[in-house]
Amino acid sequence: MTGFTVALVLVVAAAGLLRWRRPAWYWLAFGIILATLRVLVRYASVMDACGLTVPPARWRLALARATNRPMPESRPPRILRLRPTRTGLVLRLKLRPGQDAFDVAAASDRLRHSFSMYGVTSRELRSGVVEVRMTGYDVLKRVQMPATTETRPMRVPVALRQDGSVHYRDYRAVPHALTLGATESGKSVYQRNLVVGLAPMDVALVGIDCKQGVELFPLARRFSALADNPDTAADLLDALVTRMADVYQLIRAQQRITVDVPDAEIAADIWDLPEHLRPVPVVVLVDEVAELALFASKEEEKRRDRIITALVRLAQLGRAAGIYLEICGQRFGSELGKGITMLRAQLTGRTAHRVNDETSANMAFGDISPDAVLAAIQIPAEMRGIAIAGDSSGGWHRIRAPHTSLRQAVNTCNRHADRTPALPELAPFRPALAGPTAAPVPSAKPSPATA
Ligand SMILES: Nc1ncnc2c1ncn2[C@@H]1O[C@H](COP(=O)(O)OP(=O)(O)O)[C@@H](O)[C@H]1O
Ligand SMILES: [Mg+2]
């Protein structure tokens, strides 16, 4: 008996320790079973208490009256499926007549407390069926991406969502994106995760990093072109516009529409071209975009107009030519001059890290979703890397990218350096590499020889 008691105490202590230090392991070892039991046992009473039940149907009442049985009780939504996951539980519910998905969404905070879960979100799957996703612990506190994610061309698993699912950056669905955030809010780490995700794919990476190249130049071996100042950036963007025109010429040459060509084979963008002819897609990463739009003299103003015009053209026409923009900055509004709001309107994907004021959040979500603006302002300063990711359909999620260090990113880029395509148009901007050990992480102190 004492042996049993000691074992029990040990297990409870281990569970408590795990829950405190390693919530993800606790969830896998104990949480899943406890939470599943809790949900199944308390389901009917919790749903009743949360106002998610409907009175019994009239024919049941009539039947009970006729046969002199006890009156039937109110019924909660039927559980179609209960699926435990790595981070929580997923419930699929069939709504009763008269209920709607909004009822469940409105009760999600009550459900969270009643089932003692960390977070509860719900969404409609189809008419009458709602999926309720519950998380057992704060998945964004220590982001761990699942080992296997769905792989598709040009789709990068970049962050984890609050409900435990993976957030993808899908370039074919959302060609261009804007990432905003105050300084030190995690924009560059997010962009670094994108580079790490794109590195093993068949894609050319182009970087414009006007912070003297500190973020992107260490990753140079995987980049086909890099610019670290506005002058080079202007030439680089012009070269990209030229490339875009060439790709459109290629697509036109391939179209040859005659009556016997099936509709599906008429090429209108690079993905319709046969594989041996398809130009490699290009992702253009711009960090600290405001540097490109500021000017102090007449000369610089001309350069600025050239840059913004090229960016607007790439944003308007680049998608079908396989040129995708990924723009990061602290603010991106009309105070940066003409053309900026036009460019912003083309950037469909929106992500906002912590921002200091409502106007900055409005630059990301003002034209999409007022709730997302509020959520972006409420991100706490100490939770760096947390962001609100929205799309033009008005939906948004809290996400956080894993904390990939510059060293890890450099290693990944070097491992896939042989995948770097040499694009002839961009050859002048190819970063110079000094041997296989190139792209060192800059050292903190200049060496005596260079000082
Ligand atoms: N996803 C994240 N998880 C944990 N820490 C992060 C994350 N993103 C950023 N950080 C922390 O915040 C710091 C600043 O991030 P950074 O991306 O350089 O900010 P920004 O480019 O917005 O100025 C990083 O050095 C890192 O320590
Ligand atoms: Mg940065």
Residue 242 neighbours by CB distance under 10 Å? 12
- Per-residue pLDDT, 258: 64
Report how far ligand 2's centroid is from the alpha carbon of 386 (Å).
14
For residue 330 and ligand 1, the question of a CB distance below 6 A is answered with no
Task: State in Å: Cα 188 to ligand 1 middle.
Answer: 7
For 188-281, where are the E strands, in sequence order?
Answer: 204-209, 223-227
Q: Is the pLDDT of residue 356 over 90?
A: no
Residues 113 and 227 in one domain: no
My answer on whether 185 and 128 are in the same domain is no
Distance of alpha carbon 417 from alpha carbon 200, whole angstroms: 9
- How many distinct structural domains can be found in the chain? 2
The answer as to whether 438 is a domain residue is: no
Structure confidence at residue 367 as a pLDDT band (50, 70, 90): confident
pLDDT class of 450 with cuts at 50, 70, 90: very low
Average confidence score pLDDT of the chain: 89
Ligand nearest to the CA of 185: 1
Residue 388 covered by a domain: yes
CB-ligand 1 contact for 167 (6 Å cutoff): no
Cβ atoms within 10 A of the Cβ of 178, count? 23
Say if residue 438's pLDDT is above 50.
no
Read off the pLDDT of each residue in 184-205 and give the average, rounded to a whole number: 94
CATH number of the CATH domain containing 86: 3.30.980
150 belongs to a structural domain: no
Residue range 283-305: mean pLDDT, rounded: 92
Could you read off the pLDDT of 103-125 as tens digits, one per residue? 999 999 999 999 999 999 999 99
Band (pLDDT 50/70/90 cuts) for residue 363 is: confident
Residue 135: what are its φ and ψ, rounded to 5°? -110, 145
Q: Please give the Cα distance from 241 to 172 (Å, whole number).
A: 19
184 annotated to a ligand binding site:
yes
Please say whether the beta carbons of 15 and 30 come within 8 A.
yes
Report yes or no on 249 lying in a domain: yes
The pLDDT value recorded for residue 393 is 67
Domain that holds residue 39: 16-135
Q: How confident is the model at residue 264 (pLDDT cuts 50, 70, 90)?
A: low
Residue nearest to atom 3 of ligand 1 (CA): 403
Question: Of all protein residues, whose CA lies closest to atom 14 belonging to ligand 1?
Answer: 184
Average pLDDT over residues 222-232: 93
The pair of structure tokens assigned to 21 is 């230090």
Q: Residue range 214-228: average pLDDT?
A: 93
CB atoms inside a 10 Å sphere around CB 127: 8
130 found inside a domain: yes
The DSSP bridge partners found for residue 352 are 180, 388
| 216 C-beta closer than 6 A to ligand 1 | no
Q: Please indicate whether residue 437 or residue 23 has the higher confidence score (pLDDT).
A: 23
Q: How far, in Å, is the centroid of ligand 2 from the Cα of 389? A: 18
Give the pLDDT confidence score for residue 422 in this predicted structure. 87
* pLDDT confidence of residue 392: 59
Residue showing tokens 């450099």: 410
Shared-domain flag, residues 42 and 127: yes
Contacts of 171 (CB under 8 A, 6+ apart): 154, 155, 156, 281, 283, 324
SS3 breakdown of the chain: % helix, strand, coil, rounded to 5? Answer: 45, 20, 40
417-437 tens-digit pLDDT: 999 998 888 989 988 875 444
CATH number for 208? 3.40.50.300
pLDDT at 180: 94
Q: Is the shortest distance between the CB of 142 and ligand 1 below 6 Å?
A: no
Q: Are residues 328 and 408 in the same domain?
A: yes
d(Cα 34, Cα 257) in Å, to the nearest integer?
62
Mean predicted confidence (pLDDT) in 282-295: 92
Question: For 409, how many CA atoms within 13 A lie in the half-sphere containing its CB?
Answer: 26
Q: Would you say residue 141 lies in a domain?
A: no
The confidence band for 33, taking pLDDT boundaries of 50, 70 and 90, is very high
Query: Please, which pLDDT band fits residue 415 given cuts at 50, 70 and 90?
Result: very high
Percent of the chain with pLDDT over 70: 92
pLDDT of residue 435: 47
Answer whether 191 contacts ligand 1 (Cβ < 6 A). Answer: no
Give domain status of residue 446, yes or no. no
Task: Answer yes or no: do 301 and 200 share one domain.
Answer: yes
Are 57 and 75 a contacting pair, CB within 8 Å?
Answer: no
Task: Decide if pLDDT at 343 tops 80.
Answer: yes
Q: What per-residue confidence (pLDDT) applies to 19?
A: 85
Q: Is the CB of 183 under 6 A from ligand 1?
A: yes
Q: Which residues lie at CB < 5 A from ion ligand 2?
A: 188
Task: Specify whether the CB–CB gap between 346 and 176 falls below 8 A.
Answer: yes
Kindly state the average pLDDT of the residues 302-317: 94
Task: Give the residue-averaged pLDDT of 78-91.
Answer: 94
Q: What is the per-residue pLDDT for 442? A: 54
Confidence (pLDDT) at 451: 39
- Cβ–Cβ < 8 Å for 341, 168: no
Strands 88-94 and 396-400: unpaired
Other CB atoms within 10 A of residue 246 CB: 14
> At 252, which helix (H) or strand (E)?
helix 230-255
> Residues 339-360, buried b or exposed e (16+ Cβ, 10 A)?
bbeebbebbbbbbbbbbeeeeb
